[in-house]
Structure 1
Amino acid sequence: MRRFRSIRSRLFLLFMGCMTGILILMSFLYYNRTLSIIHTKVSDIAEKNISQTAGLFNLMLQGYNSLSKSLNSNYELTRLLQEKSSNPAVSIINERTITNIIGAAYYSRDDVLGIHILSKDGKVYSYERQFAGVIDNNYAQTEWYKKLGESSGNMVWLGLYPGSPINTMQPQKRVFVFGRKLYDLDNHKEIGMLMIETNPSPIMEALSNVSISPGTQVYIVDDDGKIIASSEQKGTKRPELEKLPKPSEDEKIVADGTSKELIVAANASLAGWTIYGLTPKKDIQAEVYRTTKFLIVVVLVLIILSTVLASIVSRNIASPLKLLIREMKKVEMGNFSGSVNVDSFEEINSLVSSFNRMVHRMDELIETIKASTVSEKNAQLQALQAQVNPHFLYNTLDMIYWMLDEQENERLSRVVLALSQMFRYSSNWEEAARTTLGRELEQIRHYLTIIETRLGGRLQTEIAADEKWMNAPLPKMTIQPIIENAVKYGLEPKEGVGLLKVSTEVREKKLLIKIEDNGMGMDGETLKRVRETMAAKHQRDAGAKDVGPRRGIGLRNVHDRLVMMFGETYGLRVESELMHGTTVVVAIPIPAEGEGEG
């Protein structure tokens, strides 16, 4: 026993010594390398981010510039803006044509919120999402109007505004605004001004691309030092932007700046903007601190794991434990038939014996639960079937049919035969009340024979089910209750000829059986109650009384049986509109090849 302990101690010390030495050496090399990578990569990332952002802005602004040029180069637009007619009808047509041209440009881009054209004679043509045409009468005194007036035809980037600068009724939602003077390209005569409002989200999203830490502040500054847009939060101290280094065209600057910030800058050459990104150095150092803490934690955890592993190896119990773990994985995969046999220490032998007993007990419990679940589902299915299981004397009806046939009363005999076939079908509840779509449609044809005879030509029916789905399995008496509801509540009260159609289609990996009628339909409140009646399963399980119209109870019964047979993702869906008819969709799984045959 003392010799065994001595070997264990030596193995423990040897294992721990090797592992600790390797961990310390690897941790030292990893820390130095990581520190070097962080310092070199941060500058590279910052430069790439600012370069990509500048490129994004140039592409974005180029698209906006092209949009404004397309309007200025539209010959019909420039002609109509200069045309003056004394005929009011012609003026209205011209104004409508101008608005249509602006609308076409408006819908050419998803981010455009409003386009406004201010003609030389004081007219304003606008195309916006809402409240179009409610224009600020004092727009000529605004700063943005003066900037456009001072320009020489080039694009003027006006920047971000808290709301539409020209439409006083628009909601106060931030917009990015730009514009230019409009000229007649034939004689270079000024004919008005163009102002476009766009969603600022692309600009703000591009700003976030510059950030390399949560504390990074990004600013877009124009040539006059005015901030076009920024990502700064409320209460943040704004830096002295005029003292920051300004890059030349196509140049990127990465500078330490002050001792507290890392500064990156680049130009958006198309607009003459300068983009600045200011990242606090404490954020960069925080990454180093996190890396250091993480490394310390990892080393400590590895030392602890090495100690545990050394202890396990030294006690020579790895082999029986591996065997036990392998068997546990089989249990995890659902295999409860195996058992573990080891000859080791008494404690391990006891653990293995307990594990074997537990697995066998779990296997017995699972089989018991399976049997209980199957029995419960069968009982529920039989209880639901009892609500629709007719007990008819179809043999008597067959006799009446032959008596009528002998008397050559063809119409009445056809009705009696159809009723007899319906009773025969509905009273046969074999095979767990399963049937096929083809048999169910055959039953429906018998039912419709009776209904068409009773309504005397007021009902037209169409069964357009695809032949390849005739063997699709479904609960018996699924479609007939739906058609009964359609006839009783929808088509019988309707004046004139009613239409009833049964069709199939495949959608979202489901087979849909659609029963449509053009009857009276349901109002919104009635439709809501019908849907609630079908959905309120917890009320039915608790024994609550049914509420809602009788049609909802019948549909609920069908829905419950579909859910019982196929699962919660299948069942009924009801759509209806008052005086326009009702559509009931039966959703069942697409049958596998050969399923339901016979």
Structure 2
Amino acid sequence: MVKWSEMNTLRNQIFAAFTLTMIVVLTFAGIYIYGQVSDLLRGSAEKHIQQTAVQANGRLDALLDQIDSLTTQVATNDYVQKLLLQEADGVRAAFAQRQSLLQIASTYMAYSTGIRSMELYARDYRRLFPLDQTSLNARVSQEMIWQTDRVKGRLVWFGLDPAQPDTVLAMRRISLIDRGYAAGGYLAVRLSRDYFEMNEQATGEGETRGDDEYMLLADGQGAPITSDLTAEEAKEVLAQTGSTVSVGGEELLSVRQQSRTTGWTLVLLTPVRASTEGISVLRTAILVSIGIGAVAFLLLTLLLSTLITRPMLKLMRTMRGARLGGLKQNLSPSPTIASLEIRELNNTYNQMVTHMNELIQVVYEKEITQSRTELKALQAQINPHFLFNTLEAFYWSLEDKGDEELAGIVVAMSGLFRYVIGGAGGDDEWVTARDELEHAQRYLQIMKMRLIDRLVWHIAADEGLMHVPIPKLIIQPLVENAILHGVESRIGPGSVTIQVSSDKPGIATIAVIDDGLGMDEETLAKLLQKIDGGSRQPSSKKGAGVAMSNVQRRLKLYYPDAAGAGSGLHIESKAGVGTIVRFDITIPPGGVEPL
């Protein structure tokens, strides 16, 4: 079984990354194109259905207007007006007069094939035509009669006739023209449901309706008048809203139009699958394109990854051989590689090989002279011990002679040299604040012997901070600078004060204060610039600030700004007043001295 570490190569990573990128790009592009085209086809289908619905609704209104015009002619017919006027005067129409209405009704019904029958009623709801004794309020509901009266002579469409569900009922009140358009009677018209069949009319000349297109006409109460669907399916469609409905598990696009004359709703339905028939071809084309693109990209990626990784493998074999060779033999350069980027890497490796061969030679030569160097180092260690022993001899000689002051100076010098020279191995780079202050005290004692009463010094340190670790020889250069530029610059006595205190948690502040001549702002700015510049070149000029530059570099190294303390030396000085040089150090938890 192949391990994952063996498969996780640069070649396979490039191959997998490029292939995955290509597949993702093609997939998202295909999904986007598929969605856009699907929306376009669906929108086009909805637009076409909308136009068809508008045309069908216009034809429906034309049919309704035709019936409205026909019934208006009947209501304004002279014979009908005279007969209803006679009825309004209380004289009932004779049988022969009622029978004459048959010819009038037949004449008007001949103008439209959709009219199944006409009914004429007097104002008291008594039927005048056909020739029977049925009353209007027995024929329709009182609410329908009131609704007809409210519109004052306009034709009212009630939808399916409750008495004969296979017909559509419409009524209008007949107004008597000679009586100021007073109510004279009622005209009821029953029309065949087939008269409102819109499918054949919705297709214009040269057009055919698809077998999967459906049309539904419902009255104002939501009852289907005519439909290509079954009664249950028609009710299911009318119960749903939105541009898409579901019938029998099939999704259909729905476009609804409302008649301005009757308030009826015309619904056109088209299956969604019919509107997106071309999408399957597009889907197939997209899938084939993705497949072909993926295969082609796989081959190109494999070729590209091979071209990239093969030179790198050659370089790795060369480097592996150099590693196994060690120092026993010179390293061999890698052969030239064609690729520009890999060639640059190869040239860099060859330069490294040349440099390493030179280093090997240098190491070999240093091994030859190592013994001589160790001998010289041993001799160098003897000199400090000789100096310390000599000072010790001076001390005991002065003690025997009773010169205690000079003996103290010798002891101070011995301690000072031992502090400075001791620890050449670098193990005591860090000391405690107590050690550093004791060293500064010995230096001040020696300077006191030279300056006598011109120097007064004082050390004020918090006992709790005496164990804090501090870089070695960090205070003494500042004390030396204070004596050199502060005390010696005065005509009279001068003082040097060393303070160790803590004003912030975890931070200790060390200050060296003198009451010398001080500096003006320009001189102080030059000094700060020279200290921050950190020149390492020695200078014999007094005040060159070499020692302080060294202190500044060490403080910034050991206490960077991000540590909470640091930013190096802070100098405050005024001409004729004196100078204060201070710096901050961190107090480690527990006072543990760093290694």
User: TM-score, normalising length from structure 2?
Assistant: 0.35
Question: Which of the two has higher C-alpha Rg?
Answer: 2
